[in-house]
Amino acid sequence: MIRENKAQDPVILALTIDGVFKLYFEDPRNLPELKRFLKAYLELSDDELSTINILNPGLLKDHVTDKGFTVDLLLKTKSGNDLHIEMQTNPHQNFKERIQLCNARKAGQQVKVGEDYARVKRTISLVITDFRIFLDEAAYHERIMMRRENGKVFTHVQELNIIDLTKLDSEKEHDKEKYLWGKLFKARTKEELVMLANESEEMAEAAEKLLKISADERAQAYAFSRDNAEFARKLHEQGIREEGIEQGIKRERQRAEAEKLRIAKKMIQRGDAAEEIVALIGVSFDVIEELRKATFKIKSFGCE
């Protein structure tokens, strides 16, 4: 049961922090929560989920700096199916291509040249995002598979599942179990955990365990490091944007000045008066004189 004494409560570490997500679900004590979470989103039987092996335990350096192709959880089920679970809150360029490549790469590693393709198992990716991947009216949970033109599934070998937390509210009346897990992922306060705990005994246990991991020093240290890395990343991107804008303005000014000089030169060649050029183009008399010298190779406006 979640305690009511707020003075003793740690700051809630959100499961949307990838390392916290990983530490939470790879903890052997939280195996029941991992199974319930997978059962809610994936079409896998209880028997298939009865055995789950975590292939990549522990945090990697990439989790703190730049995840790149790092997957938070690599799992193998009872019959040998591969599951890739990833929490991703920062949009990356070509993100759809990235997750597709991750899935295809793992599927392709199952067999070598000359081996029997009948031994190939399913490769299922489950990606949780806090940003929109699809610009159309996509659902909170999208299940993506390779299909024929008539809509029938071509193969079950590869499967992508995308959970868009920005659309969580749309799931409230559709699938309560998925909705509650989404609320747990987004929980930031003790009050939110108490509300979840009142929904069911299972969610009460899941919320209590999130409160416990929030008090874990390793999880706190990771969250702090991740926050610092994220802050540095945003500063870097902001610097690049500002530098890009500044350079763009500088290039545009240079282009405009070059265009002014080109027009002024043509007007000089045409014999237009300096006063008229200054009034129309906005360049100074000194610039006009320099252009006249360069054009007619004379030292001043007067004749030699």
pLDDT in tens, 119-163: 889 999 999 999 888 877 789 999 999 999 999 999 899 999 999
| Residue 115: Cβ within 10 Å count | 10
List the one residue out of 3, 85, 14 whose CA is nearest residue 44: 85
Section 50-54 average pLDDT: 95
Strands (E), the chain: 53-54, 73-76, 82-88, 123-129, 141-145, 158-164
Q: Which of 43-47, 71-75, 115-119 has the lowest mean pLDDT?
A: 115-119
pLDDT bucket at 8, cuts 50 / 70 / 90: low
Residue ranges of domains in the chain: 6-215
- Closest by Cα among 87, 103, 218 to 165: 87
Dump pLDDT digits (tens) for 254-297. Answer: 777 777 787 778 778 878 788 877 776 677 888 888 888 887 66
